[in-house]
Chain A
Amino acid sequence: MTATEGKTKKFQTPRSFTDKKLSLQKLELKANDIRQDIIKSLEAAGSGHSAGPLGLADIFTALYFDILKHDPKHPDWDDRDILLLSNGHCVPVQYTAMAHAGYLPKKELLTLRSYKSRLQGHPERHALPGLENTSGPLGSGLSQGAGMALTMRMNKQSHRWVYVVMGDGELNEGNIWEAAMFANKYKLHNLIGIVDRNNIQIDGTTEHVMPLEDLRAKWESFGWHVVDVDGNNIEAVIDACSMARAIVEKPTVLIAHTIPGKGVDYMEFDHHWHGMPVGIADVAGAPPKNQQAREALHDLRSLRGKITGDHE
């Protein structure tokens, strides 16, 4: 060792944040906290998507707090798993989960979508360490994930996985199916797709806008192993991902059935909340706009009480 090397800052070996397993109850509480912070950050932003991020909160909690090998202190760690959010408009859930994991201060969530914020309206890789790609225009994430998974194989990194979260409306895009064919050709078993099957997109229900069913049969016919999973059940998501990692001969896609707007009564199943935050407009079936955030947080706090067994 040279004299200079001796003086450099002691390098801490990266360690996976998810080595220490949280109890299911702790994970559920985490998802609830993340939902509350999503509401607060969307309210502060005054624009952005509500339904998707709320519906995905359990999946992102499972990913960042149990499934992914990652280290928020070393976002570029060579051994990390990769998570790509292909439907970039749902990024509030990713920012919030990342904040809870320690990638950024939680108070920064209130800068969402604002001028000079690292939390751009749609994710930009260069803006925030820990983001793996730039997305927003739909349909490109699965191909990028396939390129990464193929490279891991070329580099003989058999211990790494690529997870790609996609929207269901996003499956209208041809680019997705180009990627699906490609992943099958190269048998990219280290690529795991997660489709947020919440049945809504901007113009209405997916089956009204552009029918996706039989979705399982579509993926299967493209050569993928398909797992239907309750995407609002953290334990089920974790189990499905373990199963996906055990499938070695083909890529796996989870069709994760989620409830859009999950946890906020007046938003659940209502596609009007796809692209809208709380507090900007009066909507039939929802409280007046100035009470939407309060009521959403109230709903989520009641749910929190049910998880802990305490009653308000």
Chain B
Amino acid sequence: MSNLHLLDTKDWGLEPIRKGFGRGLADAGAKNEQIVALCADLTSSTQISLFAEQFPERFVEVGIAEQNLVTVASGMAAMGKIPFTASYAAFSPGRNWEQIKTTVALNNQNVKIIGAHAGLYTGPDGATHQMLEDVAIMRVMPNMVVIVPGDSLEAYKATLAIANDPRPTYLRLARDKSPIMTTDQTPFEIGKAYIYTPGHDLTIIANGTVTSLAVQAAESLFKDAIDAEVIHSPTVKPLDEETIYKSVKKTRAVVVVEEAQRAGGLGGAVSEFLSENLPVPVVRVGVRDQYGQSGTPEQLIHHYGLSKHHIMMAAHHAVDMKK
């Protein structure tokens, strides 16, 4: 395994994932004049404000109108621009899925859909704003790339990478601060999954904020005599089937961890792939067909069964099923 230049858990920092996107878009905008940014009245909280301040002539405020947000972007992409559209995931793609499908994905226009404030890390805003279904609904759309970065540095790199890629893309961001596990040297490529912790007994596949919990769970599992391999898979689609296959061929048991509905997300993608190619036990850790509620991210992670403890229980369950 090549060196991923990851930080030891004791050296992890903390920063909201969305911050990395904001910096990434400003830097991408400096490199490529075709990049434009559109926002639906959430400029500061989506962090698109950094771009807007530096390139006001390339910033388009569409107001609270998410259907218009992506359809205007579709028109701009048709004329050669690379539009980044930002809102909360609950509204985009939550409200405008059909417009994204017809005018961006089927139309195959190079529009980037940035879903900020996704998942339980949205915290006190409650269920309406904690978008948990976005990964599932975006993943089933042909032509659409789906990326869920694990920390702010990766979000920065992912933003630069999707700016250079012609495909329609959904990029999922979290609101509250979460661990920084990577460094500037850690690689990111669209469609690549990375082995954060090597192991032999079990494969834990994770993305988003909860990748950090998966890494911590693997450390503790080692004391339970389970040698778990942690794969961070920021790209949900196209899934890095090769990396997953190689790992699971060796471990024969899988736990998937994501801060989203268990139905249809990364867990769905992994289960679909493995059931047709390498059937093994797959235990999915995520929200179980429920809506969120107000609380701190930490409280919610515990309440909905996504904590390190829950990941460890899922790991034991998966390993037990091998026998």
Contacts and interface: CB of A to CB of B under 8 A. Distances in A.
Interface of A: 124-126, 132-137, 139-140, 143-152, 154-155, 174-175, 178-179, 181-182, 185
6 shortest A-B CB distances, which residue pairs? Answer: A147-B75, A143-B71, A178-B68, A144-B75, A151-B79, A147-B72
Contact of A179 (B71, B78, B98): B71
B307 to A, nearest CB: 41
10 contacts: A139-B67, A140-B71, A144-B75, A144-B78, A147-B76, A150-B60, A151-B81, A182-B62, A182-B65, A185-B63
A149 B76 CA distance: 8
Interface string B155-198: 00000000000000000000000000000000000000000000
Contacts of B36: 154
Contacts of B67: 139-140, 143, 174-175, 178
Contacts, number: 94
Given A147-B74, A151-B76, 9 more contacts: A126-B107, A137-B99, A140-B71, A143-B71, A147-B78, A148-B78, A150-B75, A151-B80, A178-B65
A174 B96 CA distance: 12
Nearest to B60: A150
Interface in B87-108: 98-99, 102-103, 106-108
B73 interface: yes
A270 to B, nearest CB: 30
B58 interface: yes
A148 B79 contact: yes
B240 to A, nearest CB: 27
A182 B106 contact: no
Nearest to B104: A134
B57 interface: yes
Contacts of B71: 140, 143-144, 147, 175, 179
Given A147-B73, A150-B72, A133 B103 contact: yes
B78 A133 contact: yes
A154 B59 CA distance: 11
A173 B51 CA distance: 32
B73 to A, nearest CB: 6
Contacts of A126: 107-108
Nearest to A133: B107
Contacts of B72: 143-144, 146-147, 150, 179, 182
Nearest to B98: A137
Contact-residue size bin, chain B (C-beta under 8 Å from the other chain): 20 to 34
A179 B75 CA distance: 12
Contacts of B102: 134-137, 140
Given A144-B78, A182-B68, A175 B99 contact: yes
B76 A140 contact: no
A162 to B, nearest CB: 8
A148 B103 CA distance: 13
B96 to A, nearest CB: 9
Contacts of A136: 102
A132 B269 CA distance: 33
Nearest to A145: B75
A144 B62 CA distance: 13
Contact of A155 (B62, B65, B73, B79): B79
Contacts of B83: 147
Contacts of B79: 147-148, 151-152, 155
Contact of B107 (A125, A145, A148, A151): A125
Contacts of A175: 67-68, 71, 99
Contacts of A154: 36, 57-58, 81
Contacts of A149: 75
Interface string B106-124: 1110000000000000000
Most-contacted residue by chain B among A144, A146, A149, A174 (CB, 10 A): A144
A120 to B, nearest CB: 11
Given A174-B67, A175-B71, A178-B68, A148 B76 contact: yes
Contacts of B63: 178, 181-182, 185
Given A133-B78, A175-B67, A179-B72, A140 B108 contact: no
A152 B73 CA distance: 13
Interface in B128-163: none
A166 B71 CA distance: 15
A118 B63 CA distance: 37
Nearest to A88: B102
A185 B65 CA distance: 13
A62 B98 CA distance: 32
B36 to A, nearest CB: 8
B95 to A, nearest CB: 10
Contact of A134 (B58, B73, B80, B107): B107
Given A134-B102, A134-B106, A179 B76 contact: no
Contacts of A133: 74, 78, 103, 107
B52 to A, nearest CB: 15
Nearest to B67: A175
A179 B103 contact: no
A63 B285 CA distance: 57
B106 A124 contact: yes
Nearest to B80: A151
Nearest to B64: A178
